[in-house]
Amino acid sequence: METPTHLSAEERDLLRRLARLRGEKVGVEEKGFFKKMRDALS
């Protein structure tokens, strides 16, 4: 089994929706330092 590492926003959303449907706990995605900086400068 391969674990995907580069997901699009749509793919991440679909996986979260699937987890919720299955009753699994869905964690909040933590932003890294550079992601926070990119968001702040956008």
pLDDT in tens, 20-38: 999 998 877 667 888 888 8
Q: How many percent of the chain have pLDDT more than 90?
A: 21
- Total count of residues recorded for the chain: 42
Q: Say which residue, 39 or 23, is predicted with more confidence.
A: 23
The pLDDT, as a whole number, for residue 37 is 81
- Of the two residues 7 and 3, the one the predictor is more confident about is 7
* Cα 26 to the center of its chain, rounded Å: 10
| Residue 3: count of CB within 10 angstroms of its CB | 4
* Integer Cα distance of 14 and 7 in angstroms: 10
* Predicted model pTM: 0.53
As given in the structure block, the two tokens for residue 20 are 């919720």
Per-residue pLDDT, 29: 67
8 Å CB contact between 16 and 8: no
